[in-house]
Structure 1
Amino acid sequence: RDKKESVIFKGEDNSYYEKLPDGKVNCIDEQLPFELPDGWKWCNLSMVGTTNIGLTYRPADIDTQGIIVLRSCNIVKDEINLTDLVRVKTSIRENQFVQKDDILICARNGSRSLVGKCTLIPEFDEKVSFGAFMAVYRTPYFNYIVHFLRSNFFRSVFDDSNSTAINQLTQDMLKRAVIPLPPLAEQLRIVDKITELFERLNCIEESLI
């Protein structure tokens, strides 16, 4: 965890508090919609991972022999789709390259419904970057957290706070998003159950075609 980020903790009064980087402490009980089972913890995303914004490039940087830059259109049905690719030749910082199991997130878009869509990064056989309207979240709990990021609970982080023409999920909003984090074994059980249910839904959908 970045020590400059906020941290959530439970006080002696059993209330939850967020300590901000400037040292201020705020009670966040009203932000927590339910009690957690034993062993679960409320935390924010900055406590269990890191996030980076993507690469800004010019039209002149586009080159068919350059580095792939992932954009919003490359997330299709919760998976990476490489049909419409842009490659660029420009200076790219190391933290603007993706790694396997990073969570790629659409952080800015004219359509509110597209902001927040996300997917896990697969194994690539070359270096791959991501665009400025995207964000990457890196965490050891990627399998569980990618499902959390697709939930209505997470969407409330930005749905009620965006009034601009271009909706966006800022770095601060992403880092301070509150998440109910279960023990690892429970995370794996939840992920397995979600996978099973979606497989059933896909079978039902295919049977109706």
Structure 2
Amino acid sequence: MSDPRNSSKSGPTAPKPGAFMDVREANAKYLPTAERQIPKGYKQTEVGVIPEDWEVKRLKAISPSQSVGLVINPSTYVEDDGTVPMLVGSNIFPNKISWESARRISEISNQALPASRLFANDLVTVRVGDPGITAVIPRELDGCNCASVMIIRHHARFNSQWLCYVMNSKAGLSQIADVQYGTAQKQFNISDAINFIYAVPPRAEQDAIAEVLSDADALIEALEQLVAKKRQLKQGAMQELLTGKRRLPGFNGEWEIKLLGEIGESIIGLTYSPNDVRADGVLVLRSSNVQDGALSFQDNVYVELEISERIMVRASDILICVRNGSRDLIGKCAKIDDGCKGMTFGAFMSVFRTPFHNFVFHQFQSNVIKRQINEHLGATINQITNKSLNSFQIPFPKDEAEQTAIAQILTDMDAEIAELESKLAKARAIKQGMMQQLLTGKIRLV
């Protein structure tokens, strides 16, 4: 095949059949700078370049009514036998309401609080804590009540789901960030929020955008539920397989109780000072490098100093968080792989080094060891010592082939979960890209 750079033909190359070529775009380099940046059919506004048939409106012009839910302590109205959900900020997530976790008030109290009653397609926005997060009231919550959240009343002139996506978008939340105040608890005033400005498409396009993004949310929710189900199945499998309650076909040999110190060794990590930290050097694995049972390298620290070979990680080491400000993080672990050669680990971490790593790694993720960690944690200091680790007991098959078979089943389940989580992450990223394109009019649906 000839090199196109050596072609003797002159002039522009014709586009391939079916290729799209915008004449205005092709000649953009000959246009004035300001005009070059605005495609045909679009206009420059205070919120950026948007389609010519879109408008820029303040929130108070989009919705005719905004208010604050009940501002006194909602616990005053909560009753053990209440039936009406009382939504607060902690029940609200982006485009989603966790109404099952909401506390309840009586129907009598609900009728006595008409100003904070909510109706289907109203929007509620978190005011305190995680300000700006918005969700739409679904039909099943029609008539419920709320406290200390911003209420945006639905009107036929706008699609509630569309407005919800706009408010939860990067551009929408940035306006909240500009006016929020407070230190321990961030919050904002409705008097500021009603003046937020948004790019508003015609109603038909709002409906189309909301439908596409709702479909994306439905896919994400389905994947989240599937991941949660697979995690529950794995927990059940660990409970049965790692304790010998359920035996795999072909295995009937004896099990015994082993101390971890009998089948391996625990090693405490590197102590270093801030003066040792560099922009590059030896990577020190810390608690932040362990996420959901796997290694993560989003938050790294490097040091430059002499390090003993003993505390350089090896493939198949089990990296464990043994000291942390949060008790819940003690015991979280990940398995070291070949890609970690040349790394070490910090003093708040340990590695457990054993020839039975495949089986023992899953024991560290099971309730067998988690229960013993909780028993050994101090009342005030969140840590487990090497002595404690070595004293932990685990059920242990004498037949190494049974260990391998059990580990393989659980490893396969981990791989399936990881694949689903990858699909979930991709679905979330695609949705974010869709929001960026659809909510700014870069892609038109109508």
TM interval, short-chain normalised: 0.7 to 0.9
- Residues of 2 paired with 1:181 and 1:119: CA distance? 20
Asked whether the 8 Å contact 2:268–2:386 carries over to 1, the reply is yes
**Unaligned ranges ≥5, structure 2:** 1-242, 428-446
Q: Which residue of 2 aligns with 1:173?
A: 388
* Aligned-residue offset at 1:202: 6.0
1:161 matched to 2:373: no
Q: Which residue of 1 aligns with 2:402?
A: 186
For the structure 1 residues 200 and 100, does the alpha-carbon distance in structure 2 shift closer, same or farther, using more than 3 Å as the test? closer
1:90 matched to 2:305: yes
* Aligned-residue offset at 1:151: 0.9
1:140 matched to 2:355: yes
**Unaligned ranges ≥5, structure 1:** 1-32
* Aligned-residue offset at 1:201: 5.3
* Aligned-residue offset at 1:199: 4.8
- Residues of 2 paired with 1:193 and 1:126: CA distance? 27
Secondary structure in 1 aligned to 2:376?
Answer: coil
For the structure 1 residues 63 and 113, does the alpha-carbon distance in structure 2 shift closer, same or farther, using more than 3 Å as the test? same
- Residues of 1 paired with 2:379 and 2:339: CA distance? 35
Which structure 2 residues correspond to residues 1-209 of structure 1 after superposition, within 5 A? 38-124=253-339, 126-182=341-397, 183-199=399-415
- Residues of 2 paired with 1:95 and 1:199: CA distance? 30
Asked whether the 8 Å contact 1:55–1:96 carries over to 2, the reply is yes
For the structure 1 residues 166 and 96, does the alpha-carbon distance in structure 2 shift closer, same or farther, using more than 3 Å as the test? same
Q: Which residue of 2 aligns with 1:25?
A: none
Asked whether the 8 Å contact 1:111–1:166 carries over to 2, the reply is no
User: Greater strand share, 1 or 2?
Assistant: 1
Q: Which residue of 1 aligns with 2:58?
A: none
* Aligned-residue offset at 1:198: 4.1
Q: Which moved more, 1:163-172 or 1:151-160?
A: 163-172
For the structure 1 residues 127 and 201, does the alpha-carbon distance in structure 2 shift closer, same or farther, using more than 3 Å as the test? closer
* Aligned-residue offset at 1:34: 8.6
User: Greater helix share, 1 or 2?
Assistant: 2
- Residues of 2 paired with 1:79 and 1:199: CA distance? 11
Secondary structure in 2 aligned to 1:104?
Answer: strand
Asked whether the 8 Å contact 1:78–1:118 carries over to 2, the reply is yes
Q: Which residue of 2 aligns with 1:28?
A: none
Secondary structure in 2 aligned to 1:51?
Answer: strand
Secondary structure in 1 aligned to 2:347?
Answer: coil
For the structure 1 residues 60 and 187, does the alpha-carbon distance in structure 2 shift closer, same or farther, using more than 3 Å as the test? same
Q: Which residue of 2 aligns with 1:4?
A: none
The CA deviation string for residues 68-113 of structure 1, in whole angstroms up to 9 with x for no partner, is: 1000000112111112110101232221110011010001111111
The CA deviation string for residues 110-161 of structure 1, in whole angstroms up to 9 with x for no partner, is: 1111100111101137511100000011111111101001111111212123
> How many equivalent residue pairs?
176
Secondary structure in 1 aligned to 2:302?
Answer: strand
After TM superposition, the score normalised by the length of structure 2 is 0.37
AA at the equivalent of 2:407: V
Q: Which residue of 1 aligns with 2:433?
A: none
AA at the equivalent of 1:84: D
Structure 1 vs Structure 2: percent identity of aligned residues?
36
AA at the equivalent of 1:57: Y
Q: Please tell me whether Structure 1 or Structure 2 has the larger radius of gyration of its CA atoms.
A: 2
